[in-house]
Amino acid sequence: MSLSASCESVSQKRTVSNLLAGRVLKRLKQEDGQQLQEATIQLLGQQQNLCSLLREVGNPDLCNIFRPQTGEQKESKGNSCAMAGSLLVCELRRQSLQLGVPMAVLAVKMLLERLMEITGTEAEKEEEDRRRGLLTCSQRVQLCVLLESSKQLLSQGVFCPKLLWQEYRKDQRSPKLEVVYNFHLYNILTLKYILESDDGVRMWLVYQLKALCGWTLPEGEEETRQVQLKVLSTVLGVLVENGFERNHEPAAADKRISLLCCSVLDDMLFWLLDTVEKSPMLKTAGTGAELWMQMFDASLCGGSASEDALRCFFTHSLTHTLTYKPRLTVSDAITLQSEWTFAKASRLVTCLFRKLAVIFSVEQLLCHLQQVLETHEVNWKLVLCFLSTVLVYNPCAQPSLRELLSRLLTSAFEGYDLENMITAFLLARQGALEGASIFPSYSEWFKMSFGGGSGYHAASKKSLVFLLKFLSDLVPFEPPQYLKVHILHPPFVPLKHRSLLMEYISLAKTRLADLKESVEDMGLYEHVSGAGITSVQPQCQAVQDVEKAVALFASTGRISPTVMEASIFRRPYFLTRFLPALLTPRVLPVKPDTRMSFIEVLKKADKIPAAQYSSYVESCQKLRQQDCSAVCLDTNDDPLEILKIQLQEFKQLLVEGNDGEMSAQLSRISHTLSVIFPACPDELIGLSVIKLNTNSPPSPELHVKVVNMILRNFCQCMLDASRANPPNKQSLWASRFVSALLGEPQLLSSLIHRLWDLFHNQGSSLSAAHLLGLAAFVVHLHNTMSHGPLVQLVPPILPEPVPVGEALSSALVCSTHSNMLFCVRLCVAAVCYGMCRGDSLPQQQQQDLILSSFYKKLLYLIPRLLPEARRASITASSPVSEYQEENLPGLWSSATDTNSTWSKTAWHLWRHPAFSQLGDIPQYQLLFSDWLANELRVQRSEDALSDPERQEYQQWACLELYLPRPEERGGCGGDMRSLCSHLLNAIMDQHLGKQNLAKLDHSVSEKGTCLPDILSRLQELIYEMEVTDLCGSCRSTVDVCDFLFEFVSERCSSTVTSASPSISTELSLQLTLNTWNRVLLALPAVLFIKVKTEGGRRTLECNKLIKHVNHHQRKVCSPAGLLSFHLTAHLLKGVLCASVRCGRAAEEVNKAWSQISLHCPLLLVSTVHWWERLSPVMLSLWHHLSDVEPLPEQLQLLTNCQKWACSLEKGQSLSPVPAASALLLAATLHHTWWGRGCNNQDSSAALNMLRAEGGTQHRQMLVFLLFLCVNDYVLALLYPQNKYHKTRTLCTDLLCVLVDSADWLLIFKSNEQSVYQSMTMVTSDEFIQLMPWAFYSLLLHQSTELQQRAVCCPGFLHTAVRCYISLMQLFLEGHGLRPSPERSDNQPLQILSNAKHFLLRVISQTPPAALSSSQLQSQCADLDPEVAAALSVHQDPHSLSPEMDFL
């Protein structure tokens, strides 16, 4: 049989079954059966072609292959397949024995031959493959039959699918996707196995998917169309299932296959998006991208994948779509947003978003959008198109978008976050662009958000300034319609801040005038600069317009329409401003540049008067004649080509060693550079600072080409010179070369920008030759500019301008392994060159050639990357005889040797005496704080060291390097406390974000740094100090507990530098203490409780802890008056653990807790609040520590108080009342009533029961309880979301019980000594200051009867006057409550006015003897003369004028 037999030829032959069926069956004798069997075996023995046999027994019926079959047909087919399979197995076994080849190998060979016969080899079908993406109908039928036979062989164990795939990939490198799909469909080779086993399948699969999607289906093949869709959906389903199915503990293989599937899906998604980007208005149906997009359907690809996997896949795809090529900036989005509406968007994009969003709710979609915006750089065009799609297809989406905008604006004004602000504005504008039926207009949204006194910006002046500054920053990019909205419907601004709004309106009107070209002196173009809103002189504006017009001419080759319109409609400006700026006389370049060409085009268009043009030409000729240094070059030469030739000639002169000619050539090069970098007459005169923009270097493309040419030539020259002589034997060519470049300020700025970009972004792409040349260039640049201008990084990563060497050094961020390798190679080359170049020079000149910042990089990196350097640290006092062979020229030879490695060169440098001698100079010493800053910037996941290696290195640096090193050399002088102080400062500075250099590497985050490692080193050292008493030289020194509390006290005192701290200072203090609490919780709790020995007995001392809580923790509690659970538990754990070190643990716990209850009420109240969660933890810990001892009495008392409060809440008998302090009982009641949500009726009943008891203790308990409730009331006044009415009701009930006693007034007199003095240590100073607000707010809402009872209370008038004075002071200082629509009955001005009327009424009703303090009268006279007069008249009625006595 021929291997190329067609399906038709096969169908004409009769199969074995047909032959047998055509015979008349008759009963066979036994002899006849034996003869028939022998004949059959003889016949089969003559048929040696297994492929032909397989084709013979498997010939299908092409007409019925896809028709439904009856049961008899299926049974007959099954019997036929079974018989065919038996025949094949028999023949395989026979040939296997005959040939000595395994049956599986023969089976694979047979199947491959048949498969190739069906599909054709790659060479035979190459042209057809390009035309056809799927099999023909006949090929598909034969393939199905072949795979059925394969299943038969597989079921009988004589076939290996894995071997089939291996051999198939060898024979055919790029199989058809449909063949692989059928392998998967017939469960012979699953797609998952193919993806796992074949490394090259990813590229093949992406190519096949794209080809199949892009294949145009021939007409009339609807069945093939269904196969195409089935193949794509099946493959997509497998990819989604294996790429996004979440396993709890996936194996490495599962992770690998997951990443591979995600990668394939991402490639296809990016292909789809690339197609949309190339043809954004694609409308034709049937395109490849559209077909793949149709697969994003839950019913198509969700068959094999679970719902969770499908959700993960759609979320993943949506995220990648929104972050696809984020090239557009926010300013682009503001400007182009009107072009990105739903109607103008690509149909493919909107359809894609619809399919991705179909299984999510609107809330989920908008929440995911917010998350993507907060965590990714996004493609604003796609983000806004996505929002439009969601709004258009979901009519109910408007409320959800409003809620999202509200969240964004609230967050923006709370944290003054510009990102949330601009996001909210863009989303609101996008919704408005879709029409009023989709979302309110922008003017309505702006008025609703900012038009009233309750707007987001109305809370403070700072919020108002933030909004107006934000709107002002948008002005240069705003479309005119939004500026009009802001002017016609301005934000609400109080009258006293009206000037701020007028500044913005003036700016917006100026912008509108510029857009309408209605102001004569306004420029032609909008120039966005750092000048803010300051006015620009018309002359400067004209210069900027000229530069812009020339730049547009260079890019388009035509005069911009703006210039043409100005020459007609703004002729005065064009003639008097624009043309004089354009025709400024200058030395014309050797070849007409863009500016000259632009002038010529304007002249030909009759836009330049003839007299003015002639005057310009004559002035330029005079300037050229006056320039004696000008070199007459061929005007046909390009300056770039001239510079290139001159640099090549200089390189040749350097090889020849002709110093005189080199100096002359440098002069020519300098002149050519002056032509390329033309400078204004007084440009950069007195230049002291060069701004280095680290984000986007502002150098034009021409300047970049020139700089690259210069640097490349210098590197080549350095290599040529180094082959002949070491640096110390070379001439001064390098320093002269660099000096020749410094005459052009623009060139110098471009050079520094380019070096920064190379070092920071392209270090890994630089070769060894580049590194050597650039290192030498930086050395000479630093040396030449040692007394020249400084460099200021923008943004200001470094606090002040620095020398150029240090500025470039800051570009070397050692955060990853690759960064470290580049940095150490560059710094080794620079230091080696500087040391060798400075050999035999005076010490100061040597130091000018060795950059201290590069030297410090090596002090950090070499021991880190080379462990042997830690064991061979050489100091200046070490013997150097064994290192004498490492002379400086030899060191440079090692650096330039192509066969040498960086590690060998670094090792040679590290051992060199000259290198170690530099360590004695202060400017070359790497301080311990600098080492910590570098270490904390390392990314743990990309570190050169493993975790154990990093631990070993850090321990060596801390204990062996910096601990014994003297303090004057940056070490710790053997003091373990100093070492721990450095670690603590570094950890806290890392949390506080003071390591500004970390901003250089945006991938470095707090989670990814070595902060956990440094924290581990701190824990080790602190533990060692505690265990071995290494904190000082003798036992009398401060122990670990004192050391830790002294450290945090110093940090807090350094934060608060004035007696009246500002808001920023308070925020800094809060951040400092929150950071300290993280460190505190990471250290053993027992360290914070001091154990002292007195009279041979160990006792606990909690004074430091109490002082720390009262003075520091109290100020940052949130909410006020309550420590966090973790902090409370940690401190209690410390008390219990420390007590075990004493003889009588329970007794010491009782004493310590008694001391805490008396002197640290905040910790007491917090413990009561958290006791339900704390008690199981503390009980378990105590049993573990003390075995059989019961819980200490003071802690058991907390449980008893809690039970008592619960019984009181339920109305049960009061007795027995626990023998506890009044504050403890009050805190327990407060937590029970407030924390558990006790209703007012229960609390009122309980108060009545307590009133019946009476007694001093109960009264004190109720006063303490009133203070805690008033604290809650102040919290409710500050934050309206708290339960304001419930708190006020509870305070009223307590007042009803206590109003006849004067004790309740003492809680509003924080500075008076009383039994209630400790209450001031429960809450924050801010809340204590707001007590006068609470006093009047509570009293003014009471009934007239209760107010009258309060007035009759002894000392009430004195308290009321003092509270009113404090209230006035708070109001005048701006520390009062903010107006809130949710507290209409508690507005600040209303409270102040009502308080005054109430006080005046009280004064008139109170006897004169009730107030005798003249000091209060004098204070009132300064704040409120009316109240002061009432007090004066009340105390002395005869003080009225004598003329009134006749009455």
pLDDT digits (tens, 9 = 90+) for 264-291: 999 999 998 888 888 765 544 447 888 8
pLDDT at 472: 92
Pairing label, strands 689-693, 790-794: parallel
Cα–Cα distances in Å, from 764 out to 434, 686, 748?
48, 37, 24
Hey, what are 672's tokens? 């050519």
Amino acid at the residue 525: Y
The single-letter DSSP state of residue 802 is: B
567-571, 648-652, 1318-1322, 1415-1419 — most confident range:
648-652
Using the predicted structure, report yes or no on whether residue 1402 has a pLDDT greater than 50.
yes
What count of residues does the chain have? 1447
301-305, 703-707, 770-774 — most confident range:
770-774
Locus of tokens 């949309």: 276
Using the predicted structure, report yes or no on whether residue 859 has a pLDDT greater than 90.
yes
3-state secondary structure of 502: helix
Closest by Cα among 1065, 1066, 1108, 1027 to 1321: 1108
Closest by Cα among 617, 614, 611, 615 to 592: 617
pLDDT digits (tens, 9 = 90+) for 398-453: 899 999 999 999 999 999 999 999 999 999 999 988 877 788 888 889 989 998 88
Q: How many angstroms separate the CA atoms of 1076 and 1069, rounded?
A: 10
Using the predicted structure, report yes or no on whether residue 1417 has a pLDDT greater than 80.
no
> In this structure, what are the phi and psi dihedrals at residue 387, rounded to the nearest 5 degrees?
-60, -45
Hey, what are 1395's tokens? 């308080």
792 forms beta bridges with 691
Q: How many angstroms separate the CA atoms of 515 and 536, rounded?
A: 16
Closest by Cα among 426, 283, 444 to 350: 283
Using the predicted structure, report yes or no on whether residue 548 has a pLDDT greater than 60.
yes
Asked if 379 contacts 388 with a C-beta cutoff of 8 angstroms, the reply is: no
Q: How many angstroms separate the CA atoms of 843 and 59, rounded?
A: 95
pLDDT at 1309: 82
pLDDT digits (tens, 9 = 90+) for 55-110: 555 444 433 333 334 444 444 444 455 555 666 777 777 777 677 677 778 777 87
126 forms beta bridges with none
**In the predicted model, what is the mean pLDDT of residues 579-599?**
84
Q: What percent of the chain has pLDDT over 90?
A: 25
Q: Hey, CA dihedral for 317, 319, 322, 326, is it positive or negative?
A: negative
3-state secondary structure of 660: helix
pLDDT at 536: 41
The single-letter DSSP state of residue 673 is: H
pLDDT band at 134 (very low <50, low <70, confident <90, very high): confident
Using the predicted structure, report yes or no on whether residue 615 has a pLDDT greater than 60.
yes
Hey, what are 11's tokens? 């169908």
The CA angle 1347-1352-1353, to the nearest 5 degrees, is 95
Per-position DSSP letters for 296-346, written without gaps between them: --HHHHTTTS-HHHHHHHHHHHHHHHHTSS----HHHHHHHGGG-STTTS-
Using the predicted structure, report yes or no on whether residue 883 has a pLDDT greater than 70.
no
Q: How many angstroms separate the CA atoms of 1234 and 1270, rounded?
A: 12
Q: For the chain, first and last CA: distance in Å?
A: 145
Residues 6+ apart with CB under 8 A from 818: 763, 764, 942
pLDDT at 962: 93
The CA angle 1285-1290-1291, to the nearest 5 degrees, is 95
pLDDT, mean over the chain:
80
pLDDT at 1410: 60
Kindly tell me the number of DSSP H helices and DSSP E strands found in the chain: 69, 4
Cα–Cα distances in Å, from 194 out to 227, 239, 262, 1100?
21, 12, 15, 69
Cα–Cα distances in Å, from 1069 out to 985, 1062, 1184?
15, 11, 38
pLDDT band at 13 (very low <50, low <70, confident <90, very high): very low
In terms of C-beta density within 10 A (0-12 exposed, 13-18 middle, 19 or more buried), how is residue 602 classed? buried
Hey, what are 605's tokens? 């268009």
pLDDT at 998: 47
**In the predicted model, what is the mean pLDDT of residues 1058-1071?**
74
Using the predicted structure, report yes or no on whether residue 831 has a pLDDT greater than 90.
yes
1388-1399 burial, b for 16+ CB within 10 Å, e for fewer?
Answer: beebbeebbebb
Using the predicted structure, report yes or no on whether residue 1304 has a pLDDT greater than 70.
yes
Which helix H or strand E contains 736, and what residues bound it?
A: helix 733-741
Q: How many angstroms separate the CA atoms of 500 and 498, rounded?
A: 5
The single-letter DSSP state of residue 788 is: S
pLDDT at 899: 79
Asked if 803 contacts 786 with a C-beta cutoff of 8 angstroms, the reply is: yes
Q: How many angstroms separate the CA atoms of 829 and 1072, rounded?
A: 42
pLDDT digits (tens, 9 = 90+) for 631-640: 334 434 578 8
pLDDT digits (tens, 9 = 90+) for 1153-1177: 999 999 999 999 999 999 999 999 9
**In the predicted model, what is the mean pLDDT of residues 1133-1144?**
89
pLDDT band at 693 (very low <50, low <70, confident <90, very high): confident
Using the predicted structure, report yes or no on whether residue 1437 has a pLDDT greater than 70.
no
The single-letter DSSP state of residue 898 is: T
In terms of C-beta density within 10 A (0-12 exposed, 13-18 middle, 19 or more buried), how is residue 1435 classed? middle
Locus of tokens 């008396």: 1158
Hey, what are 658's tokens? 């002709």
In terms of C-beta density within 10 A (0-12 exposed, 13-18 middle, 19 or more buried), how is residue 578 classed? buried
pLDDT at 775: 95
CA atoms within 13 A on the CB side of 704: 11
pLDDT at 855: 95
Cα–Cα distances in Å, from 382 out to 334, 388, 391, 433, 872?
14, 10, 14, 15, 58
CA atoms within 13 A on the CB side of 301: 28
Lowest mean pLDDT among 6-15, 156-165, 221-230, 708-717: 6-15
**In the predicted model, what is the mean pLDDT of residues 805-830?**
92
The CA angle 855-860-865, to the nearest 5 degrees, is 115
Using the predicted structure, report yes or no on whether residue 1236 has a pLDDT greater than 90.
no
pLDDT at 778: 95
**In the predicted model, what is the mean pLDDT of residues 469-494?**
87
Using the predicted structure, report yes or no on whether residue 1438 has a pLDDT greater than 80.
no
Lowest mean pLDDT among 605-619, 734-748, 1075-1089, 1249-1263: 1249-1263
Radius of gyration of the chain (CA): 43
Asked if 1073 contacts 1055 with a C-beta cutoff of 8 angstroms, the reply is: no
Q: How many angstroms separate the CA atoms of 1231 and 617, rounded?
A: 90
Closest by Cα among 1389, 1073, 305, 1066 to 297: 305
692 forms beta bridges with 793
Lowest mean pLDDT among 133-142, 1059-1068, 1175-1184: 1059-1068
Residues 6+ apart with CB under 8 A from 1195: 1149, 1153, 1178, 1182
Using the predicted structure, report yes or no on whether residue 784 has a pLDDT greater than 70.
yes
Hey, what are 1184's tokens? 């573990």
Cα–Cα distances in Å, from 180 out to 213, 305, 774?
16, 19, 54
Using the predicted structure, report yes or no on whether residue 716 has a pLDDT greater than 90.
yes
pLDDT at 696: 67
Locus of tokens 């198509």: 300
pLDDT band at 1434 (very low <50, low <70, confident <90, very high): low
**In the predicted model, what is the mean pLDDT of residues 1186-1214?**
82
1221-1250 burial, b for 16+ CB within 10 Å, e for fewer?
Answer: bbbbbbbbbbbbbbeeebeeebbbebbeeb
pLDDT at 1160: 93
pLDDT band at 955 (very low <50, low <70, confident <90, very high): very high
More confident residue, 745 or 651: 651
pLDDT at 532: 32
More confident residue, 570 or 810: 810
Using the predicted structure, report yes or no on whether residue 1441 has a pLDDT greater than 70.
no
